[in-house]
Amino acid sequence: MSRNQLYVRGLRDSVPMLVGIAPFGIIFGTLAGVGGLSLWQAVGMSMFVYAGSAQFIVISLMGAGASAVVILLTTFIVNLRHVLYSATLQPQVQGLPQRWRLLLAFWLTDETFAVVQRYYLVHGRQPLAHWYWLGVASALYTCWVGSSLVGVLFGQAVPDMASWGLEFAMLATFIGIVVPLLRNQPQIAAALAAGAVALMTWSLPYKLGLMAAAFSGIAVGVLLERRQSPHPQDASGKEVHS
């Protein structure tokens, strides 16, 4: 596929995520306006921070009068999951110019990772696949910034929008993307373990439960894959046990 075809396909494949991002962004814009941020401050945060959950936390901490140090440390902890995302996708961007890697790194979010990783799992590594990533990321970024703007401008006209539960659309979209990718026992077990740990640790501060769930899922998946893989053999054909 050509660059343009991959880019357009990325735009198209991002559409299900837009259904969840748009209401989420509107809610953020509404809360930012209620919290005292100006139009440009709220939209600027979406443009230059571009981290949904971290932005909500910043609004909450600012309203509580937290110091800049507390805000920075909290958002750092919340966004640690991106280390896992970047480590997973790093082999796919090897050899790309630094300008490409910096751009794609800035646009790496939960939603972008879900769509792009699914593409790589199905199609493997391709020389021009970063154009697909660019299509996905640019669509999601535009939607987030645009919906934040709508929230700031019009969100307060709708009473108590934050309590409508519109963010569930994002969860439903993630479930629809992830579940079809669970094709073997280690993957299913990893997902179940991560889900169970997430439920047990949901009350931890700074979204530490999310990190605990991620590492638990990884540990279970790796353990089961190692148990299922055949033992290596030496030159005589005998199994070698470590």
pLDDT at 145: 96
Determine how many CB atoms are found less than 10 A away from the CB of residue 9.
Answer: 16
199 and 98 inside one domain: no
The answer to the question of residue 172 being in a domain is: no
75 shares its domain with 16 = yes
Backbone phi and psi for residue 98, each to the nearest 5 degrees, phi listed first = -60, -35
State how many domains the chain has. Answer: 2
pLDDT, averaged in runs of 10, over the chain (242 residues): 92 89 88 88 94 85 83 82 86 91 92 90 87 96 95 79 64 72 85 90 76 84 82 51 47
Predicted local distance difference test score (pLDDT) of residue 165: 65
Q: Is 146 inside any structural domain?
A: yes
Residues 87 and 91: their CA atoms lie apart, in Å, by 8
For residue 52, tell me if it sits in a domain. Answer: yes
**Structure-block tokens of residue 99:** 């300008």
Give the C-alpha separation, 78 to 80, whole Å.
6
234 part of a folded domain: no
- Within a domain: residue 175? no
| Residue 5 C-beta-side C-alpha neighbours within 13 Å | 3
Q: What is the pLDDT of residue 242?
A: 43
Q: Is residue 11 in some structural domain?
A: yes
Q: What is the pLDDT of residue 134?
A: 95
Q: Are residues 195 and 155 in the same domain?
A: no
Phi, then psi, of 158 in degrees rounded to 5: -105, 120
pLDDT digits 0-9 by tens, 36-50: 889 999 999 999 999
Residues 87 and 56 in one domain: yes
Task: Tell me: do 207 and 108 sit in the same domain.
Answer: no
Q: What is the per-residue pLDDT for 177?
A: 67
Q: Examine the domain organization and report whether 158 and 129 are in the same domain.
A: yes
- Sign of the Cα torsion 28, 34, 35, 39 reads positive
Would you state the pLDDT for residue 170? 63
Q: Find, among 84, 34, 35, 77, the residue nearest to 53 by Cα.
A: 77
| Alpha carbon distance 110, 70 (integer Å) | 23
> Does 211 map to a domain?
yes
Domain assignment present for residue 161? The answer is yes
pLDDT of residue 169: 66
Residues of the domain holding 211: 182-225
Q: What pLDDT score was predicted for residue 131? A: 95
For residues 142 and 207, membership in a common domain is answered with: no
Q: What is the pLDDT of residue 166?
A: 63
Question: Are residue 108 and residue 138 in the same domain, yes or no?
Answer: yes
107 plus 190 within the same structural domain: no
Do 220 and 157 lie in one domain? The reply is no
114 and 221 assigned to the same domain: no
User: In one letter, which amino acid is 128?
Assistant: L
Give all strands (DSSP E) within 81-193, no chain letters.
none
pTM of the predicted model as reported, rounded to 2 decimal places = 0.76
